[in-house]
Chain A
Amino acid sequence: MRWRRSPSEPRRGRLRIGRWLFATFAAMIAATLVYALYPRPMPQTQAIQIRQPLPDIARLRTVAEFAAIADLDQRSIALFEEAGRVIQHPRCMNCHPRTDRPTQTDAMRPHRPWVSRGPDGAGESALRCSTCHGATNFESSGVPGNPMWMLAPIEMAWQGKTLGEICRQLLDPARSHMSRKELLQHMSEDALVGWAWHPGGGRKPAPGTQAEFGAIIKAWLDTGGKCPA
């Protein structure tokens, strides 16, 4: 091990490298300082961009939009399929169950608490729908309401059926208990049906409006009331 430079070794070359290194360092520090201290504007608050609007799934196509379908039967079926977007919406399906129990929410889970249709569709004698459901939606509790609050009769069950099956059932007076005229009136004017467009409580309404839906049903019946397969 050697601790001392032997007197024969040159020291000038080393000194020059040291000076270079020092200069480079100094330059880098200076550059960093200039960059850090250079005056620049403070970041300003900015409005963030509004979320991309979702595709308008709530819109119902108008009757005029089906005029391009020349074949009347095909047009009729297309009209019913558009109406099906309302018919098969949870706001409508929840009260057309295939059992004695209504369902709830967009997930169409069984109604809580446990309730049953009873003799008249408005609940068992000892637990009526009106125990909780009033004449209007009640925003404080989120409980929906309508003076006619009740289940559709079991013959009008829609859950678990295809749109074609629902269509044929609607046109069968034995099961729908309605003539075509009454059916049109039920769809376009009935206040309980109309609840589906004003469900309150943060619930998603059925697409379109009841009037638009009624117009689609009318056009479907006027084109012969054809049903999807």
Chain B
Amino acid sequence: MSYAISVNGQIHHVEDDGQTPLLWVLRDTLKLTGTKYGCGVAQCGACTVHVDGTPTRSCTLPLEVAASARITTIESIEGVEAQAIRDAWVARDVPQCGFCQSGQIMSAVALLRTLKTPTDRDIDVAMSGNICRCATYNRIRAAIHDAAAQLGTAR
């Protein structure tokens, strides 16, 4: 079946089975390979995208559902939170191998949009669905605090 999906502000016409996971469509059809495939079963968070602004695992979102939403991927995440997260990520040199990082960043940006000054617990709760095989967790947490602080002074 044919679906019109809105990804990063652009409408794409996709010819595929409605039960295809959005992640497959993003990577294989639209060639947006910034979003990673880690597990395919909602266990790792590498495939996190924003669906109408909410972080969602694209490996477990059927195309037919995604077609009625606005999808934002790592390729076009923007805004003050995204900028603050990027600066903090660079300053702290957060990634190691980097594979999990687009998912981490999508979750972290969503967290800062929900909670302006997250505590350690808030960060742990929000990020617990994002697994990092290189165990960069401590840097991720510190960088989120940095980004929150930067946003706080900017305001």
Closest to A126 in B: B126
Interface residue B41 (Cβ < 8 Å from any Cβ of A)? yes
In the complex, which residues of chain B have a beta carbon less than 8 angstroms from the beta carbon of A38?
none
Interface residue A115 (Cβ < 8 Å from any Cβ of B)? yes
* B45:A113 contact, CB within 8 angstroms: yes
Interface residue A112 (Cβ < 8 Å from any Cβ of B)? yes
Interface size class of chain A, counting residues whose CB lies under 8 Å from the partner chain: 20 to 34
Closest to A134 in B: B65
Interface residue B110 (Cβ < 8 Å from any Cβ of A)? yes
Interface residue B151 (Cβ < 8 Å from any Cβ of A)? no
Interface size, chain B (Cβ < 8 Å): 28
Closest to A135 in B: B65
In the complex, which residues of chain B have a beta carbon less than 8 angstroms from the beta carbon of A114?
125, 128-129
**What number of residue pairs across chains A and B have CB atoms under 8 A from each other?**
70
Given A127-B125, A127-B128, check contact A132 B57 (CB 8 Å): yes
Interface residue A138 (Cβ < 8 Å from any Cβ of B)? yes
* A131:B129 contact, CB within 8 angstroms: yes
In the complex, which residues of chain B have a beta carbon less than 8 angstroms from the beta carbon of A134?
60-62, 65
* A142:B125 contact, CB within 8 angstroms: no
Q: What is the interface of chain B, defined by CB distance below 8 A to chain A?
A: 19-21, 40-43, 45, 54-57, 59-62, 65, 110-111, 114-115, 118, 122, 125-126, 128-129, 131
Q: What is the interface of chain A, defined by CB distance below 8 A to chain B?
A: 112-116, 124-128, 130-132, 134-135, 138-143
